Amino acid sequence: MLIGSIVGAISGLKHGGKKINGTVVLVRDNVLDFNDFGSTVLDNLHELLGGGVSLQLVSAQHGDPSKGFKGKVGEAAYLENWIGNTIIPIFAGETAFSITFDWDEEIGVPGAFFITNQHFSEFFLKSLTLEDVPGHGRLHFDCNSWVYPADKYKTPRIFFANQAYLPNEMPKPLVKYRADELLNLRGNGKGERKEWDRIYDYDVYNDIGDPDSNLDLGRPVLGGSSKYPYPRRGRTGRPPSKKDPKSESRLPSSSKATDVYVPRDERFGHLKMSDFLAYGLKSISRSLKPKLEDLFDSTPGEFDDFNDVFDLYEKGLPVPRSLLQGITENIPAPLLKEIFRTDGERFLRFPTPQLVHEDKTAWSSDEEFAREMLAGVNPVLIARLDEFPPKSTLDTNIYGDQTSKITEEHIKDGLDGLTVNEAVEKKKLYILNHHDSLIPYLRRINTTPTKTYATRTVLFLKNDGTLKPLAIELSLPHPQGDQFGVISKVILPSKTTGIDASIWQLAKAYVAVNDTGYHQLISHWLNTHATIEPFVIATNRQLSVVHPIHKLLVPHFRDTMNINALARQSLINADGIIETTHYPSKYSMEMCSFVYKTNWVFPQQALPADLIKRGVAIVDSNSPHGLRLLIEDYPYAVDGLEIWSAIKAWVQDYCSFYYKDDQTLRNDTELQSWWKELREKGHADKKDEPWWPRMDSLHDLIETCTIIIWISSALHAAVNFGQYPYGGFAPNRPSTSRRFLPESGTPDYKELESNPEKAFLRTITSQLQALVGVSVIEILSRHSSDEVYLGQRSNPEWTLDKEALEAFEKFGEKLGEIEKKIAMRNKDPQLKNRVGPVDMPYTLLFPTSSEGLTGRGIPNSISI
């Protein structure tokens, strides 16, 4: 660039000719947007006219008295050879630029730099590396941030060197810059956020309803009230809706997925595979779902037998060309190739789910039904019964007597000669209990097309370590009112192949319906996506990028706000994919709020605490991880405890390096502000709960950070990436039911007698719901090509502290050892729950994976 070169030459004479050579790595916007090649021409024009990209070093050693002793700022240096750059990048899409700074003794060792972008378009700044800083040597700045044209910012963009500092250790010339940058990230809480904004702020869930288009699509505001408490989301500042001022207006249907505001650095770019997956969700919501609805309105379709379901994997679905064209023209080409395979006019041909890959019938066995409570996609609910019959925690003044109607007479033949009391004492009775979470909403849910029950399933732990279902209770609210309790049917396993066996299969299907809805709304959405978002916001608002805890946690937040914002647009919104495919229907998010209110306790999100709470483990100092599992062959718990312990050891090593004593932690102003805001704003509806850690000891910090990382990585992996392997075959994980258990003498009962497969399929998820639902979980279960897994970092120079890097390397090595141990356990024939009758090894907590549908792998963050 001509003008920049002249300025640099004059400055070089002024400072005696000493230079610092550096390399800037960035990704140009047009690489990430295949519709934006025109920006290259405009940027090149700006270069020729003197409007390039400049950097100024900021001193970490010398303050400027005229500016309150803030670090002195050096002369501007410009990126060289923007036009015709020939430096070979390290990774595809990246561009490396040389830059030369005139070194000034008054600057000394820099600790930060300002960057000014005078181009027309933004770019993604990866890093700056200075090769030979006098008195220091090599200095690296890890940036990873979008830099927009200068007129989009009120203050210049600043980046700090890759050294971690507690607030009181920050070099004094940089202290004010550090504080100012946090103020910029917090914003002022006013106005509608724009694409280029970097502001993190909180809001309630008032954007999932759409009262302006249809008052029936209005939904309660979640968060900010005792009736509907909820974690906070990122604020967008969109205006209120016209018909309900408490609700935020929705984006128009023509909007792009990227039109939903999230702070710019929470969204990388839409040539990234994980963003393609996100676009897939929007495509299903906006293109595929309505087109399929049109098709099924004109030609209603049902699965008549299980062979029809298997045709989805072997043949695909016949679809008219006109409909196919209407879908494909609205879906980006790479998505069409990756997600929606086509074969002539047969559209939506899905990959065979792992569950039915080896055996097409084993999924329906009682053994597999029970095994998936320990090694399925929702293995986080099974609990030990410590009293019989099972009791309810619901308020009897409101809901009457909710005690289970299962009696000893029902189950005594399955207890291997024990009495019920003996089975309880020997810790042999377990329960999958969906009763209390569903009963408060069941009467209303059943006024929708859903027709279902609240279920309790009682199981017996056999001597071979497997679980045997003993009875299923199907409950409905009493027709005379909630205060009269429930009416229940108790269904028992059948020893024959007739009508009793068919009724038992339907009873298991109602359990699966309950479990699938609870899994998607609570185990998956609420307990990972929704509850972590406030941590993302608080971390960016209160912890500087150079704070060691920010450096520890931020890889576990990658893309979470982005995918959550998209979910509010297409998945959990009124009449969205979840409401139209899962049994709670329009009450889905209300039920989610109820469970958050009654069940969510932060310390109990720790795996050991969760296992103890559910009664499936007891404290035992002589056992690995300090716990003894009462179901020894519990794959999720066995593998999970190893991952948990590895995370905790890593966090302990890391935190102990920066905090030598508890007083240092208590004096950390940023950390204390972070924890205060997380409780009082991020989870404001639970701010007064006594169980929050006090954050006055290293123990509190280690436990808290371990929980955050566990939720963001391993817990999310355990409940997300098995969705298609287990649920891609809809009869195994139906998401709704459409009719009740048939009564003897009715046409439905006769159908169940004469054609049990047809009756089963008419009861559960419809063909349309199955197609939309399976399309979604196929996307949700995929790993992107650029996934960063637990124990990995996208940049090996994420910190300059050798001790932290060594501890992280040890963590990665430990995870490698765990992966080998999991593989060995899966080959042990004595561990019957590891593989089960479907011949499907439990691999959801394998730390690594390849791209695609693998049923394994723990990404660092909740990114899909």
So which residues are the catalytic ones? 524, 529, 716, 720, 864
DSSP states along 564-627: HHHHHHHTSSTTSHHHHHSTTGGGHHHHHHHHHHHH--GGGGSHHHHHHHTTSEEE-TTSGGGE
Task: Tokens for 273, please give them.
Answer: 């595979």
Find out whether 842 and 639 touch, Cβ atoms under 8 Å.
Answer: yes
Q: What is the dihedral of CA 496, 501, 504, 505, to 10 degrees?
A: 130
Strand partners, 745: none
Find out whether 190 and 196 touch, Cβ atoms under 8 Å.
Answer: no
CA-atom Rg of the chain in angstroms:
29
Residue 393, by phi and psi: left (phi above 0), alpha (psi -120 to 50) or beta? alpha
Residue 137, by phi and psi: left (phi above 0), alpha (psi -120 to 50) or beta? left
End-to-end CA distance of the chain: 42
Q: In whole angstroms, what is the distance from residue 434 CA to residue 15 CA? A: 74
Which among 27, 228, 38, 22 is positioned nearest to 130, based on CA atoms?
Answer: 22
DSSP label of 557: G
Task: Tokens for 710, please give them.
Answer: 């566990």
Which among 842, 691, 855 is positioned nearest to 781, based on CA atoms?
Answer: 855
Strands 157-160 and 70-73, how do they pair? unpaired
Task: Tokens for 433, please give them.
Answer: 């209990």
Give the three-state DSSP class for 169.
Answer: helix
Task: Tokens for 71, please give them.
Answer: 């670090």
Q: In whole angstroms, what is the distance from residue 783 CA to residue 853 CA? A: 7
Q: In whole angstroms, what is the distance from residue 411 CA to residue 432 CA? A: 15
Question: Which alpha helices (H) appear in 212-364, and where do they start and end?
Answer: 273-283, 289-298, 306-314, 321-328, 333-338
Strand partners, 491: 472
Which among 761, 679, 1, 738 is positioned nearest to 309, based on CA atoms?
Answer: 761
Find out whether 274 and 784 touch, Cβ atoms under 8 Å.
Answer: yes
Task: Give all strands (DSSP E) within 319-428, no chain letters.
Answer: 342-343, 346-347, 383-384
Quick one: which H or E segment has residue 137?
A: strand 137-147
3-state secondary structure string across 8-65: HHHHHHHCCCCEEEEEEEEEEHHHHCCCCCHHHHHHHHHHHCCCCEEEEEEEEEEEEH
Strand partners, 21: 100
Backbone angles phi, psi at 473, to 5 degrees: -100, 125
Which among 770, 863, 219 is positioned nearest to 516, based on CA atoms?
Answer: 770
Task: Tokens for 808, please give them.
Answer: 């992280």
